[in-house]
Structure 1
């Protein structure tokens, strides 16, 4: 996270001086998106909403902001992924405008972050 903050890629949404939601952005995700990562895209990572603020459609608000951010940075897609097998979150992401693009599997290696250890990720994309 420190690197993301230093590179202005980590964002916080505040409500009345309280953190309501956080997320990070990157312009590449070769590990999960493989060949498709060659396309000009913005990747959303680690969206987390404070339980006190759930139900306020922060992902939809983030998507609207990221659409403009992506266009300003010459990107044609907004993408995100989540661990496979959670139908509830899959439906939520499609309700936020994402198209389900299938599943990506990776072989976990020690140098990868631990959250990649599951190895199977559902892919979602918005084409701008």
Structure 2
């Protein structure tokens, strides 16, 4: 297994995994994501924010890391943190605990960058996912409502989010 930064060549794989994740959310009756703009994802990839987990020469999982998330985390965004976003797993590789693998990867990165927290958010009200993230070591910090989120994916508009953090 390899974790490495994604390249522009990986854009179609990212977009496909996002679509598969949205379909899975629909099947569970927990529709969170509303799709992502390929141009924005490509820009994030070029900026070095997207990562992939490669297993058996296939992209098994993708995720996004940011050093800031002011719209969601507001005043707490001033804290030294790394933010995990958009974990999407290839359906052929579900059940392999990629969230825990990502957490360990991000812990190492956060320590190197002298960050104190690892943070993430998810659409509020998904108790199953909340419990899973808590089992992975995160603590629920707050639930926030975002009215208008310019330059963010559509699912952030007029929606509430559960905020999670892990102190290093």
TM-score, length-normalised on structure 2?
0.73
Q: Is residue 104 of structure 1 aligned with residue 144 of structure 2?
A: yes
Shift, 1:113, TM fit: 2.5
Matches within 5 A, 1:8-23: 8-23=48-63
Matches within 5 A, 1:30-109: 30-109=70-149
Per the alignment, residue 46 of structure 2 pairs with 6
Q: How many residue pairs were aligned?
A: 128
Per the alignment, residue 115 of structure 1 pairs with 155
Task: Name whichever structure is richer in strand by fraction.
Answer: 1
Give the whole-Å Cα distance in 2 for the aligned partners of 1:13 and 1:117: 29
Other structure's SS at 1:78 match? strand
TM-score, length-normalised on structure 1?
0.94
Deviating 4+ runs (over 4 angstroms) = none
Q: Is the 8 A contact 1:83 1:118 kept in 2?
A: no
Task: Name whichever structure is richer in helix by fraction.
Answer: 2
Q: Is the 8 A contact 2:118 2:166 kept in 1?
A: yes
> Structure 1 6/110 Cα, relative in aligned 2: closer, same or farther at 3 Å?
closer
| Uncovered stretches (5+) of structure 1, i.e. residues with no partner | none
